[in-house]
Amino acid sequence: MNRNTPGYGLHGVWLSEPSASTVEVAALAGYDTVVLDVEHGSFDLAALNWLLPFIRSKGMEVIVKVLGPHREAIQQALDLGANAVAIPHVESVEHAEKVCGYAKFPPLGDRSFAGGRVSNYRGFSDDWVAEQDANTRCYPMIEDASAFDDIAAILALPAVDGIFIGPSDLSLRRDRGAYTVSEGDLADLAALADAANAAGKPWILPAWSPAEQELAVAKNAHLIIATMQYGALLAGLEGSSAALRDIQVKAGK
């Protein structure tokens, strides 16, 4: 991946619950990509049905981290208008080949056609299938030790457009315990980045800390997810509260 690759260095925000206001604030703050955490968040299909077109109407891209490595979850996100899916808990190259195939139409994969939003509520053509396969992206999440070991083979799969790294689960499953952005954690992130770059495919990193963000910039991440909805809210509330307490202390109150 080089700096001339379209989308290099995009800034992402992570949402755990549906909120039009959060999307609008993120757009005002200069973010260009929204990640919806359906796996651990409070999204249902009704929320995705209005939120996905709303995000795209703001000129932002949207990646749905789907409920699990299942056909229905992957297809529903794409049918409702996601630019990309991130598929959690991919276990191996064989598993990746199967589940990532649900994001691509035959003969490349095994996605099923739905005549709804993405086909303008009409039928479809071979050109439309080719456009969908090229422009809707599939990112297996690398968060299991077995997927880490298979990374080169996973990246070589035609249905895989890049990888989405899951640092916390990867640390647990690589026997380092809770994720602390340790030297071992950063070494794993760097190894995955190098593998993706060698394959010429994008890689995505949730990077809350300066160390993670510096690695992401140095290794040419396609998308750096810089903050999450709850974390940003907590940081803002804590900062305002701390500033007021400082004023009160200085005033002797």
Burial label for 244, CB within 10 Å (0-12, 13-18, 19+), is exposed
**Residue 1: pLDDT over 50:** no
User: Which member of 11, 40, 70, 95 is catalytic?
Assistant: 40
22: phi then psi, degrees, rounded to nearest 5: -65, -40
Predicted confidence band of residue 30 (pLDDT cuts 50, 70, 90): very high
Confidence of residue 7 (pLDDT cuts 50, 70, 90): low
* Fold held by 10-250: TIM Barrel (3.20.20)
Measured CA to CA, the distance from residue 127 to residue 131 in angstroms comes to 6
Q: Phi and psi for 93 in degrees, rounded to 5?
A: -65, -35
pLDDT at 34 over 70: yes
**Selected residue with higher pLDDT from 3 and 50:** 50
Can you tell me the distance from the alpha carbon of 252 to that of 249, in angstroms, rounded to the nearest whole number?
A: 5
pLDDT at 253: 83
Distance separating alpha carbons of residues 165 and 84, to the nearest angstrom:
15
| pLDDT of residue 5 exceeding 90 | no
Return the sign of the alpha-carbon dihedral for residues 122, 162, 149, 217.
negative
Q: Tell me whether residue 11 is one of the annotated catalytic residues.
A: no
- Residue spans of the domains in the chain: they are 10-250
Please report, for residues 190, 210, 212, the alpha-carbon distance to residue 180 in angstroms, rounded to integers and kept in the order given. 15, 13, 11
Task: Report residue 4's pLDDT band, with 50, 70 and 90 as the boundaries.
Answer: very low
Cα 202 to Cα 90: distance, rounded to the nearest angstrom: 17
The number of C-alpha atoms within 13 Å of 208 and in the hemisphere containing its C-beta is 14
pLDDT tens digits along 51-73: 999 999 999 999 999 999 999 99
Q: How many CB atoms lie within 10 A of CB 21?
A: 7
Q: Compute the average pLDDT of residues 12-27.
A: 97
First to last CA, the chain: 56
